[in-house]
Amino acid sequence: MDRFLIIRLSSLGDIIHTLPAFSALRRSFPDAEIRWAVEEKGKEILDLVPGIDEVFVINKNKWLRSTRSIRGRDQTALDFQGLVKSALLAYLSRSRRRIGFSRENLKEPLASVFYTERCLSFPEEEGHVISKNLKLLEILDIKESRFEFPLRIPDDIFHSVRSKLSMMGRQNGRRIVVYNVGAAWETKRWFPEKWIELIKMVRLPDAFPVLLWGGEDEKRLAETVAGRTGV
């Protein structure tokens, strides 16, 4: 039986960007065992993904101890993160094949020394990071261009969100337009003026706009945008 270990430890957005690669791997190897190594914050998302046989939580404060659970269990490790710590994790897993990106496409080029195979280099400015992740699978003769996100939302979460939207004034039939105004890194946050300009452009009669935020900094940004747009 084929056994794979996916390594994408964080962040939430990058974990979601790796799901199409997982989906393509699962379609190509329907009977394989596929495990995923992730940090604690990402486990909740992966628990919503059918087809993952096991999720390994890597504790950042007890890193080496956490790696013991993955040693010697998989034939192929796929490092989608491209950092020294994730490449080292692939090495410590004792997988015979350790697949990663070329030095030119790594945030930390030193990570490449832990791989047994590397995909061909490609221009970083071409395509989305999802396409980059799919390129890693070409070493396994998997060529995929579809972006599939195999998330299964539990009924209780689904109904809870619908209830909250109704309390906010949404009526059935109105299309939800979500604006995710925040980001964990300040350098990745769009300027308030840009959000205001975009929201004013998307003025659909049946739209129900929603601003997402997390933390006090993002809340202040959302309040500024809401105050200027009436959302």
| Full set of structural domains in the chain with CATH | 3-140 (3.40.50.2000), 166-229 (no CATH)
Q: What was the pLDDT predicted at 145?
A: 87
Q: Lowest mean pLDDT of 6-20, 60-74, 83-97, name the range.
A: 60-74
3-class secondary structure, 155? helix
- For the full predicted model, state whether its pTM sits above 0.75: yes
Model confidence over 101-110: pLDDT tens digits? 999 999 999 9
- pLDDT surpasses 80 at 63: no
pLDDT cut 90: percent of the chain above it: 64
Alpha carbons 19 and 49: distance in angstroms, whole number: 9
> Per this entry, what is the length of the chain?
231
pLDDT cut 70: percent of the chain above it: 100
Model confidence over 8-46: pLDDT tens digits? 999 999 999 999 999 999 999 999 999 999 999 999 999
- Structure confidence at residue 207 as a pLDDT band (50, 70, 90): confident
CA distances from 43 to 47, 49, 182 (A): 6, 10, 21
The 10 Å CB-count burial string (b at 16+, else e) for 83-113 is bbebbbbbbbbebebbbbbbbebbeeeebbe
Model confidence over 157-200: pLDDT tens digits? 989 998 998 888 888 778 899 999 888 777 888 899 999 999 98
Within the chain, residue ranges assigned H as helices are 12-28, 40-46, 63-67, 84-92, 129-136, 155-167, 192-201, 216-229
